[in-house]
Amino acid sequence: MVFGQTTSDRPHPPLLTKQETAKLFSTTTRTVDRWLAEQVLPASAKVVIGGSVRFRSEVLLDFISDASAEAKGGEAE
């Protein structure tokens, strides 16, 4: 933590809508719903705010990075 900076002062990674998440994965919102139901996406990516579903971009990008490393036969860090 930086001196004099509180947790709420730090910028938060953006939250994505279901449509933005689908675009990130080059798929449809229906597929995103299916991935949620089948627990393909990390549970920590999903956030519900006032009944609206959002996705933590940081978690999704880490998920993509890990999946990409696995596909190449490497170890994800």
Q: Where are the beta strands (DSSP E) in 1-77?
A: 15-16, 46-49, 52-56
Domain count, the chain: 1
CA-angle at 39, arms to 35 and 41, nearest 5°? 65
The answer to the question of residue 31 being in a domain is yes
The answer to the question of residue 46 being in a domain is yes
The per-residue pLDDT for 11 is 76
CB atoms within 10 A of CB 59: 17
The answer to the question of residue 76 being in a domain is no
Model pLDDT for residues 7-61, shown as the tens digit of each residue: 566 677 899 999 999 999 999 999 999 999 999 999 999 999 999 999 999 999 9
Which one is predicted more confidently, 76 or 32? 32
The answer to the question of residue 3 being in a domain is no
The answer to the question of residue 42 being in a domain is yes
CA 17 remoteness from chain centre: 10
The answer to the question of residue 49 being in a domain is yes
Q: What is the CATH number of the domain that holds 27?
A: 3.90.105
Q: Where are the beta strands (DSSP E) in 15-51?
A: 15-16, 46-49
**pLDDT over 80 at 76, yes or no:** no
Domain that holds residue 22: 13-71
